[in-house]
Amino acid sequence: MSSGLGWADPLIGVRYRRDLGNGLSLTAYADVGGFGAGAHIDWQLLGTIDYALKPGLDLHASFRSLNFNYTGVHAGFDVHMYGPIVSATFRF
């Protein structure tokens, strides 16, 4: 018997990136989904400050807010998670 639970949701998302020059940029991302297909509703917002340290290496400082509301036969979740993210992107 498995203690895990999984579901898939349709999502609609948008992303916007603004180059500020000197390797700096801003990124905003948002999506909404669920629509009763899996979760009742889910959404997330993400704002990022990006810095291209050198070709192939970008650094990111972000804040993310993620919310989902799921009610199933065996479980129900109403979760809102949020907080900072520090990350890097390596391209090769």
Give the pLDDT confidence of 12-24 residue by residue, as tens digits.
Answer: 999 999 999 999 9
Residues 6 or more apart from 61 whose CB is under 8 A from it?
48, 49, 84, 85, 86
- Residue-level pLDDT at 86: 98
- Quote the distance between the C-alpha of residue 17 and its chain's center: 15
CB of 41 closer than 8 Å to CB of 9? no
- Residue-level pLDDT at 23: 96
pLDDT band at 1 (very low <50, low <70, confident <90, very high): low
- Residue-level pLDDT at 81: 96
pLDDT, one tens digit per residue, over 29-39 is 999 998 888 78
Name the residue ranges covered by the structural domains of the chain: 13-86
Amino acid (one-letter) located at 6: G
How far is 84 from 89, CA to CA, in rounded Å?
16
Residues 6 or more apart from 47 whose CB is under 8 A from it?
26, 27, 28, 29, 62, 63
**Paired residues of 4 in beta bridges:** none
What pTM was estimated for this model as a whole?
0.82
